Amino acid sequence: MGNTIIDIKDITRDFPLGTETVRVLKGIDLLINKGEYVALMGPSGSGKSTLMNILGCLDTPTSGRYVLNGKDVSAMSDDELATIRNKEIGFVFQTFNLLPRTTALDNVALPMVYAGFKKPERTNRATEVLTQVGLADRMDHQPNQLSGGQRQRVAVARALVNHPSIILADEPTGNLDSKTSVEIMGLFDEIHAKGNTVILVTHEEDIAEHAHRIIRLRDGVIESDNVNPHK
């Protein structure tokens, strides 16, 4: 199983609701290999956001086991999870999550600050990934000087900067117009083609079609897990 990057076994996640307990995930088994391009889909209330939070080490399961890149993260402390997130996962969010009064270059370099890299190395690597996403001429611009598509490209560059094991994108085109969405998804296609593992959380069928494998959740279980026949 040396090619496996995500190994989830019988994951549950419960949330208290008054005197009741709501089981949002009801025993999820999932294997994802290095280099896969996976879309995670499901209607509101299906558990996809909860599963995404567990995959991204933003939350821990109530029970079950999660091995990420050979490390069992199911029962790690908050500090240990923060370290794993910084090293292993590059996040891209619908709302970009950029620091408003900070240049594109410094936004992208931020994960490297937490990882303990020296400034020259941070600057070199941030410059490299901003060039890769087509923003070589926008490095000194702050988010309010950039279009929505450019802001999302900054977010993608930030996700790539620490050479993560997984790019985890949550509704990455949700705040973009259709033309810009096509451009951003083209960028994800390029990132995947370079060997990155990409997990895309979306409710839009046309966005999911970019993935090579589509997993659908409903009522806290995996309803289907299929190879995309168009890829």
Q: What is the pLDDT of residue 2?
A: 58
CA–CA separation, 3 vs 99, rounded Å?
36
Give me the number of domains the chain comprises: 1
Average pLDDT over the chain, rounded to whole? 93
Is 164 inside a domain boundary? Answer: yes
The reported pTM is 0.92
Residue 143 in domain: yes
> What is the token pair recorded at 65?
């086991």
> pLDDT tens for residues 23-32?
999 999 999 9
Q: Is residue 4 part of a domain?
A: no
* pLDDT tens-place string over residues 87-141: 999 999 888 899 999 999 999 999 999 889 999 999 999 999 999 999 999 999 9
Which are the contacts of 19, defined by CB distance < 8 A and separation ≥ 6? none
List the domain range (segments joined by +) for residue 200.
Answer: 35-62+77-227
Model confidence over 138-167: pLDDT tens digits?
999 999 999 999 999 999 999 999 999 999
Rounded mean pLDDT of 61-85? 93
CATH for 197: 3.40.50.300
The predicted pLDDT at position 44 comes to 86
- How far apart are the C-alpha atoms of 32 and 88, rounded to whole Å? 14
